[in-house]
């Protein structure tokens, strides 16, 4: 192959080359042996005396000696970067006198090789990424040197005059020279156009910099320690000034004086607080201004007027409340993102040439939507690219490709410095794609980010009336249903047991969801047709964060409580025979305390910076920009999915347990149907949310945003309005509790009415026939077992006589006879026979310990003053008269635990009866309690003899199993002592 000119053997495992391999390639011009395992320069190159370019990058060459390179008189480009070169001999390049480009980046050199002094034709020298500390003078031996790159070296011993008298030097790169003591002398470098000294810890520039470099066009001083804009008024040719990442606090007071040809000014990430009106009066040709990420609180209304040619403005990540529009009529690209105080934006009429906008809120783009109709798909693609991250520009022909690749922000430097920025930016920039953001005759297309959408709407929070009405219905049902459940379960007279406690927590959690929907419904109703005008105020308000907090708290607490209820019911069903093994109320309280702690923590994280409630109008933490926020959202979705699987598994197990029992009946079929209904509602509400949210979090959007919004604000809260009906309102025990609450309310009203009547008319001192009869009835239920013979003295109708005697003052004979008979009756009452001792109570075997429901029956109050008048002696001490009824409850009457009844009597299966203990009696004042346990006794319900004028047809006395109260056990010894 004698005519071969180009040979590439890159990315192989070549460690050595036979000397005779290249003997026949005498016309070879370019040889590429990069990324192999060569340890020395191949000796076979002796036969390639016409070689012009040699690439040995990425090998393992350790040093260069005088014999390393054979005579190569035509070689002009030598690339030795990314090797292990630590030493270069002085005469290493004697055999390559025509060398013009030498690349020694990323090696282990500690000083500038003196062998370079033997290269008079050298134009481009790159030594970046080494460990060079000392640089002596001697580069003057390379008079044609045009580009010198020493980036990434310490340069702590840089000679002051090492870079002087380089008349053709146009580009000097001293970036990341951490040990550089200061700006070296550039005397005699009159053609220098690009100077980069970023990340060098400079605090100031020499005053004669512009005098030594009169043709300077690009100056990069970012990431230094400058506190003010350097004095550059003598650099009249300067086009690009990069001062980002410094400590500059002001740009007023003629700081930019003399820079009339300046095109690009970059002042990002400084400490600017305000932009005065005279900040840019000396830069009338400014086209690009970057003020991102400062502390700008105010921009003067006339600040941009002197720079009427401005085309690209970046004022993002600041805190000013308003952006002046004066002077921005020629603006093409505007970035005003991440500014929470910029809540209002200008209409499109003030930006007649605008092509792209990146704003703080999606609602700012609402007015630009008519100009974005033809660029919807392009906006999404642009958003995926995240601005300039994928920007590709073609460099000018004379620009070095290595410098272009190493500088991420090199495009403004070179485009504006060469004067070709406008044409090249229009030709290859990101704004000139086919059909994208072009100015057309009679119309234009604009791109604006962030885009409005269903979760960031422009018109209404709820886009259509069907969704709006559905949200209102769910909101009212959730609020009223759960509120009713909480009220009835808390204020009923039934004992608080485990199921009732858990259902109360569930209702409270779902009640919070009703409050969350109430916030959204009220905001939507108050902003119909003009939501974008109030959206930012709503999202930034504390109400939005409170609503989001309640929404997340409700969702997680409801899921947790449902799981606990299901597990408890599952254990009760599958272990029905172990009645002594039940979840106690104390343990249930501890479990729910853990659930409340978990839910409060999950709802508080967005308030502490993990995701954010303020990103979307529905105030839910859907942000997934950061890894922490994504992990937060995914964790909640996974927890909800696992909870649903727990519910499904437990209900299937309970169904199988009931189905396999021998006591399967119609009631069990009804329970099974209710189980299926519970699982179906849970599946309907949770599974779509979890599935589509997880897929969307990882980038697969299977549903549109409109459908996702319906799932979020309607389907997900739907479970909160169904739970109170499924778990409480439709159960028998809840109806009983409602009846008890209603009866208690009615009794309290009657009691208050009687109290007011007694207070106003001295009701307690009247003796009416009704009171007399009620006295007789109440006395018959007391513990006075003596036969009262006083009423026998009264004739039939004696009650009427008593009434007439008391009320009439007539003196006829019949009245006197009646009065005498009344006196005898009263004296007989005082001479009552001694009360016999009650019969000895019979000890009954205690029933086995079983879970039962205790419900308070109707309480009867007695007037002790009336009893005293009837029996003629002081009333007994206050006592708690109570009787205990023990009855067996059948399986048809008991609500099985699978129906999620809140009574403790539902712990037994269909084949197991439950003992129901109900307490009836009068309510008593608080008294001293004894340590002895009540005993079951059989006592006659009526023991007193009938007084005169009592009804003759009374039923026989009923024998009731009663447990004497503490007051009764204390009263018996007292009565015996009295007798």
Identify whether residues 491 and 602 lie together within a single domain. Answer: yes
The whole-angstrom separation of Cα 183 and Cα 164 is 12
Residue 9 located in a structural domain: yes
Q: Which of 701, 709, 697 is nearest to 455 (CA)?
A: 709
845 pLDDT tier (thresholds 50, 70, 90): very low
- H or E stretch including 385? helix 376-385
Mean pLDDT check: name the lowest of 515-519, 523-527, 919-923.
Answer: 919-923
Provide the residue range defining the domain that includes 843. 768-788+832-978
At 589, list the tokens.
């309280």
Least confident of 61-75, 622-636, 698-712: 698-712
pLDDT for 742: 84
CA-to-CA separations, 794 to 299, 770, 777, 799, 834, in angstroms, rounded: 106, 17, 17, 8, 21
pLDDT grade for 703, boundaries at 50, 70 and 90: low
pLDDT at 932 (0 to 100):
44
Contact between residue 944 and residue 787 where contact means Cβ atoms under 8 Å apart: yes
Say what the pLDDT of residue 793 is.
45
Structural domain ending residue among the three candidates 122, 141, 171? 122
524-531: long-range pairs with CB below 8 Å, 24+: 524/460, 524/461, 524/462, 524/468, 524/471, 527/460, 527/461, 528/460, 529/459, 529/460, 530/459, 531/457, 531/458, 531/459, 531/460, 531/461, 531/617
Clarify whether residues 118 and 129 are in a common domain: no
Pick the closest to residue 619 from 601, 608, 607, 631 (CA basis): 607
Q: Which of 228-232, 733-737, 749-753, 786-790 has the lowest mean pLDDT?
A: 786-790
476 plus 555 within the same structural domain = yes
- Can you give the CATH number for the domain in which 20 is found? 3.80.10.10
Residue 331 three-state SS: coil
How does pLDDT run across 174-221, given as a tens digit for each residue?
999 988 888 999 999 999 999 999 999 999 999 899 999 999 999 999
State how far the Cα of 733 lies from the Cα of 739, in Å rounded to an integer.
10
CB 24 within 8 A of CB 2: yes
Tell me which of 348-357, 511-520, 834-843 is least confident: 834-843
Proportion of the chain above pLDDT 90, given as a percent:
37
For residues 867 and 697, the answer to whether their CB atoms sit within 8 Å is: no
Tens digit of pLDDT for each residue in 309-355? 999 999 999 999 999 999 999 999 999 999 989 999 999 999 999 99
Dihedral-angle region of residue 908 (phi above 0 means left; psi in -120 to 50 means alpha; beta otherwise): beta
pLDDT tens by residue, 565-608: 888 877 777 776 666 667 788 888 999 999 999 999 999 999 99
* Residue 854 backbone class (left: φ over 0; alpha: ψ -120 to 50; beta: rest): beta
- Would you say residue 808 lies in a domain? no
**Is 576:656 a contact under the CB 8 Å cutoff?**
no
Highest mean pLDDT among 778-792, 812-826, 869-883: 812-826
Among residues 122, 144, 169, which one ends one of the domains? 122
Please provide the DSSP assignment of 53-73 as one string. Answer: EEE-TTS---EE-TTTSPP-T
289 within a domain of the structure (yes/no): no
Sign of CA dihedral 334, 336, 337, 343: negative
How many whole angstroms separate alpha carbon 119 and alpha carbon 698? 57
At residue 922, the pLDDT reads 36
Give residue 828's pLDDT band: very low, low, confident or very high (50, 70, 90): low
Please tell me the predicted confidence (pLDDT) of residue 787. Answer: 43
Residues 619, 483, single domain; the answer is: yes
pLDDT at 717: 81
With beta carbons less than 8 A apart as the criterion, state whether 539 and 875 touch: no
Tell me the β-bridge partners of 882. Answer: 921
Residue 540: inside a domain: yes
The residues, ordered by sequence, that sit 6+ positions from 618 with a Cβ below 8 Å of its Cβ are 455, 461, 520, 709, 712, 713
**What angle do helix axes 716-724 and 666-697 make, rounded to 10 degrees?**
160
Most confident of 96-105, 778-787, 853-862: 96-105
CB 164 within 8 A of CB 188: yes
- Which helix (H) or strand (E) element contains residue 972? helix 966-978
Tell me, yes or no, whether 29 and 143 share the same domain: no
Q: Are strands 194-196 and 218-220 parallel, antiparallel or unpaired?
A: parallel
pLDDT in tens, 403-422: 433 443 444 444 444 444 44
Residue 922 inside a domain? The answer is: yes
- Mean pLDDT computed over 772-799: 44
- Least confident piece of the model among 85-89, 167-171, 643-647, 787-791: 787-791
Q: Are residues 484 and 593 in the same domain?
A: yes
Give the angle subtended at the CA of 612 by the CAs of 607 and 614, to the nearest 5°.
Answer: 105
Mean pLDDT for 709-738 is 78
**CA-CA-CA-CA torsion for 10, 14, 15, 18, nearest 10 degrees?**
-110
Q: Give the residue among 387, 548, 383 at the shortest CA–CA distance from 453.
A: 383
Residue 852 confidence (pLDDT) above 50: no
Distance between CA 556 and CA 973 in Å, rounded? 59
Task: Say which CATH number the domain at 604 has.
Answer: 1.20.1070.10
Question: Is residue 92 located within the same domain as residue 129?
Answer: no
pLDDT in the model for residue 453:
81
491 in Cβ contact with 738 (< 8 Å): no
DSSP states of 681-700? HHHHHHHHHHHHHHHHHTT-
Average pLDDT for residues 845-856, to the nearest whole number?
39
Specify the 3-state DSSP secondary structure of 936: coil
Are 318 and 298 contacting, i.e. CB atoms less than 8 angstroms apart?
A: no
Q: Which of 708, 730, 752 is the last residue of a domain?
A: 730
Higher pLDDT, residue 401 or 21: 21
SS (H, E, C) 583-648: CCHHHHHHHHHHHHHHHHHHHHHHHHCCCCHHHCCCCCCCCCCCHHHHHHHHHHHHHHHHHHHHHH
- By C-alpha distance, which of 411, 409, 434, 408 is closest to 424? 411
Among residues 498, 521, 604, 517, which one has the least CA distance to residue 557?
Answer: 604
Mean pLDDT is highest, among 173-182, 642-651, 742-751, for 173-182
The end-to-end CA distance of the chain, in Å, is 141
Q: Please indicate, yes or no, whether residues 161 and 50 belong to a single structural domain of this protein.
A: no
Q: Are residue 781 and residue 901 in the same domain, yes or no?
A: yes
**Distance of alpha carbon 921 from alpha carbon 739, whole angstroms:** 18
Q: Lowest-pLDDT range, 18-27, 577-586, 778-787, 910-919?
A: 910-919
- Domain annotation covers residue 252: no
d(Cα 583, Cα 589) in Å, to the nearest integer? 10
Considering only residues 316 and 398, tell me which one the structure prediction assigns the higher pLDDT: 316
Torsion angle of C-alpha atoms 958, 959, 964, 965, degrees rounded to 10: -30
- The stretch 692-702 carries a mean pLDDT of 63
Are residues 477 and 610 both part of a single domain? yes
In a domain, 621, yes or no: yes
Q: Are residues 860 and 882 in the same domain?
A: yes
How many structural domains is the chain composed of? Answer: 4
Kindly tell me the burial class for residue 973, based on how many C-beta atoms sit within 10 Å of its own C-beta (0-12, 13-18, 19 or more). Answer: exposed
pLDDT of residue 795 exceeding 70? no
Same-domain pairing of 70 and 115: yes
The rounded distance, in Å, linking the Cα atoms of 896 and 907 is 7
**Structural domain includes residue 222:** no
- pLDDT of 305 higher than 70: yes
Beta-bridge mates of residue 312: 288, 333
| CA Rg value for the chain | 48
Nearest to 657 by CA among 912, 282, 485: 912
């Amino acid at each position: 192959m004698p005519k071969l000119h180009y040979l590439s053997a890159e990315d192989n495992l070549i460690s050595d080359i036979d000397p005779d391999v290249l003997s026949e390639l005498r016309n070879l011009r370019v040889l590429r042996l990069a990324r192999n395992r060569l340890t020395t320069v191949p000796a076979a190159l002796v036969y390639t005396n016409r070689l012009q370019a040699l690439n040995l990058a990425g090998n393992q060459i350790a040093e260069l000696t005088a014999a390393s390179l054979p005579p190569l008189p035509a070689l002009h480009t030598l690339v030795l970067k990314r090797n292990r070169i630590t030493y270069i001999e002085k005469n290493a390049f004697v055999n390559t006198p025509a060398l013009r480009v030498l690349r020694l980046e990323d090696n282990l050199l500690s000083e500038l090789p003196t062998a370079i002094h033997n290269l008079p034709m050298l134009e481009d020298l790159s030594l970046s990424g080494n460990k060079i500390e000392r640089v002596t003078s001697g580069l003057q031996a390379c008079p044609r040197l045009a580009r010198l790159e020493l980036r990434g070296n310490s340069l702590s011993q840089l000679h002051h005059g090492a870079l002087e008298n380089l008349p053709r030097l146009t580009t000097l790169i001293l970036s990341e020279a951490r040990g550089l003591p200061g700006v070296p002398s550039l005397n005699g470098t009159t053609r220098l156009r690009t100077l980069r000294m970023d990340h060098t810890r400079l605090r100031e520039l020499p005053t004669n910099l512009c005098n030594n470099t009169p043709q300077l066009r690009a100056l990069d001083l970012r990431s230094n320690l400058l506190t003010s804009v350097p004095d550059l008024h003598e650099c009249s040719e300067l086009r690009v000034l990069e001062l980002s990442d410094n400590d500059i606090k002001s740009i007023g007071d003629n700081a930019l004086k003399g820079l009339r040809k300046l095109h690009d000014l970059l002042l990002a990430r400084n400490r600017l607080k305000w932009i005065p009106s005279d900040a840019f009066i000396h830069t009338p040709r400014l086209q690009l201004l970057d003020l991102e990420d400062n502390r700008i609180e105010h921009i003067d209304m006339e600040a941009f007027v002197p720079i009427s040619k401005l085309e690209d403005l970046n004022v993002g990540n600041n805190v000013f409340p308003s952006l002046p529009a004066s002077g921005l009529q020629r603006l093409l690209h505007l970035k005003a993102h991440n500014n929470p105080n910029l809540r209002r934006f200008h209409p499109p009429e003030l930006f007649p040439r605008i092509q792209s906008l990146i704003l703080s809120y999606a609602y700012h783009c609402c007015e630009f939507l008519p100009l974005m109709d033809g660029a919807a798909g392009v906006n999404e693609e642009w958003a995926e690219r995240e601005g300039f991250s994928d920007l590709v520009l073609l460099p000018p022909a004379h620009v070095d490709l290595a410098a272009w690749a190493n500088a991420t922000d090199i495009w403004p430097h070179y485009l504006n410095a060469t004067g070709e920025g406008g044409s090249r930016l229009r030709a290859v920039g990101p704004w000139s794609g086919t059909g994208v953001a072009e100015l057309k005759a009679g119309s234009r297309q604009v791109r604006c980010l962030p885009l409005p959408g269903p979760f960031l709407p422009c018109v209404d929070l709820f886009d259509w009336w069907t969704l709006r009405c559905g949200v209102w219905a769910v909101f009212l049902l959730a609020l009223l249903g759960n509120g009713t459940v909480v009220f009835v379960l808390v204020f009923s007279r039934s004992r608080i047991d485990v199921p009732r406690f858990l259902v109360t927590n569930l209702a409270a959690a779902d009640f919070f969801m009703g409050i969350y929907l109430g916030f959204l419904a009220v905001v939507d109703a108050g902003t119909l047709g003009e939501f974008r005008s109030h959206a930012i105020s709503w999202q930034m308000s504390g109400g939005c964060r409170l609503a989001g907090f309640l929404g997340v708290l409700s969702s997680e607490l409801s899921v947790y409580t449902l799981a606990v209820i299901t597990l408890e019911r599952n254990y009760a069903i599958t272990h029905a025979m172990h009645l002594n093994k039940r979840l106690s109320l104390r343990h249930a309280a501890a479990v729910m305390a853990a659930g409340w702690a978990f839910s409060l923590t999950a709802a508080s994280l967005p308030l502490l910076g993990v995701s954010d409630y303020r990103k979307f109008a529905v105030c839910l933490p859907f942000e997934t920009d950061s890894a922490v926020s994504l992990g937060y959202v995914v964790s909640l979705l996974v927890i909800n999915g696992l909870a649903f699987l727990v519910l499904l598994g437990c209900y299937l197990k309970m169904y199988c347990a009931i189905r396999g029992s021998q006591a399967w009946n119609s009631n069990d079929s009804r329970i099974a149907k209710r189980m299926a209904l519970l699982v179906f509602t849970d599946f309907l509400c949770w599974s779509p949310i979890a599935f589509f949210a997880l897929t969307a979090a990882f980038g697969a959007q299977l549903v549109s945003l409109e459908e996702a919004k319906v799932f979020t604000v309607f389907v997900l809260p739907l479970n909160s309005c169904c739970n109170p009906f499924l778990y409480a309102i439709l159960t028998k025990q809840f109806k009983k509790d409602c009846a008890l609450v209603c009866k208690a309310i009615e009794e309290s009203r009657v009691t208050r009415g009687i109290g007011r009547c007694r207070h106003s008319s001295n009701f307690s001192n009247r003796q009416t026939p009704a009171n007399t009869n009620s006295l007789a009835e109440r006395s018959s239920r007391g513990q006075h077992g003596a036969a009262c013979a006083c009423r026998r003295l009264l004739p039939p109708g004696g009650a009427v006589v008593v009434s007439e005697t008391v009320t009439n003052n007539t003196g006829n004979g019949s009245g006197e006879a009646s009065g005498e008979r009344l006196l005898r009756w009263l004296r007989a009452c005082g001479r009552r026979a001694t009360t016999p001792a009650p019969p000895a109570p019979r000890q009954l075997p205690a029933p086995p310990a079983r879970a039962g429901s205790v419900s308070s029956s109707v309480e009867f109050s007695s007037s002790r003053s009336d009893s005293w008048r009837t029996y003629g002696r002081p009333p007994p001490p206050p006592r708690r008269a109570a009787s205990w009824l023990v009855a067996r409850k059948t399986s048809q009457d008991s609500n099985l635990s699978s129906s999620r009844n809140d009574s403790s009597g539902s712990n037994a299966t269909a084949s197991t009866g439950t003992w129901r203990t109900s307490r009836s009696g009068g309510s008593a004042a608080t008294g001293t309690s004894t340590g002895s346990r009540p005993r079951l006794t059989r006592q006659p319900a009526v023991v007193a003899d009938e007084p005169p004028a009592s009804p003759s047809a009374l039923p026989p006395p009923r024998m009731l199993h009663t447990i004497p109260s503490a007051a009764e056990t204390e009263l018996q010894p007292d009565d015996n002592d009295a007798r």
